[in-house]
Amino acid sequence: MLKAAPRPLLDTLTAPVEWVVSPAPVPYEAALAAMEARAAAIADGAAPDCVWLLEHPALYTAGTSATEDELLDPGRLPVFRTGRGGRFTYHGPGQRVAYVMLDLTPRGRDVRAYVTGLEDWLIGALARLGVSGARRPGAVGIFVDGAKIASIGVRVRRWVTLHGVSLNVTPDLEHFSGIVPCGLHDTKVTSLEALGAETDMAHVDNALRAAFEDTFGKSAASGSGAP
């Protein structure tokens, strides 16, 4: 029997994606456990795809490509080793983290197209907030006038995505000085607040959701808590 060719990323959604927002900062280890449990349920066909919006307490995470010399101030904040791609990044209050758990099997199992979709999503959300974001050749993430405003780090297990993106809304940017952010030396980090843009988190979430639907397809009704 001939196997049907995978359809393009934007044409393969089979059900609305669940959208969950946590109203209070979520400890990193608890978030990781909840995310992995939900991804496993998606892979088993027991739960729909999900986007989880949250904030973390102040901390650093190290991706699979992180090196010790990029942690410039080891005692400053807790450090968590994680299985996502990428290097060191900062998470903390005022930064919107979006964990994206999507089944890539009906989307053609194309990880590169998925990452491109994440970039398109962030650029679209920033545009809705009056900010012109852009890619930078050789770097992962989104930049505004050369300064990084959003990071991307993903992992795929059983063709279900884990981790996702983070967008700087009103974080303490000084904490980025404790690391080499995403391995990018001599690259500034910025935020919506530093740019004088919209910083109300509800408005940011609305922009993220609208841009997500433009890129990946329709979302289901929002919920609160954890996935």
Collect all residues with Cβ–Cβ distance below 8 Å to 170 and sequence separation of at least 6. Answer: 94, 191, 192, 193, 199
The CATH H-level (homologous superfamily) assignment of domain 14-219 is Bira Bifunctional Protein; Domain 2 (3.30.930.10)
Question: What is the amino acid identity at position 102?
Answer: L
Specify the pLDDT at position 220: 59
Q: What is the pLDDT of residues 93-139, one digit of tens each?
A: 999 999 999 999 998 999 999 999 999 999 999 999 999 999 998 88
* Set 26, 182, 184, 211: catalytic member: 182
CB-CB neighbours of 203 under 10 Å:
14
Angle at 97 between CA 94 and CA 99, to 5 degrees: 165
Question: What is the amino acid identity at position 190?
Answer: T
Collect all residues with Cβ–Cβ distance below 8 Å to 185 and sequence separation of at least 6. Answer: none
Specify the pLDDT at position 1: 28
Q: Name the pTM for this structure.
A: 0.88
Q: Which residues of 71-109 are buried (b: 16+ CB within 10 A; e: fewer)?
A: beeeebbebeebebbbbbbbbbebbbbbbbbbbbebbbe
Q: At what angle do helices 201-216 and 111-128 cross, to 10 degrees?
A: 140
Pick the residue with more confidence: 87 or 173? 173
The structure tokens listed for 151 are: 């990071």
Average pLDDT score over the chain: 88
CA 144 and chain centroid, separation? 17
Query: Is residue 216 within 8 Å of residue 121, measured between CB atoms?
Result: yes
CA 211 and chain centroid, separation? 13
Q: Respond yes or no: is residue 182 known to be catalytic.
A: yes
Q: What is the pLDDT of residues 142-163, one digit of tens each?
A: 999 999 999 999 999 999 999 9
**pLDDT bracket for residue 7 (50, 70, 90):** very low
Return d(Cα 46, Cα 43) in angstroms, integer: 8
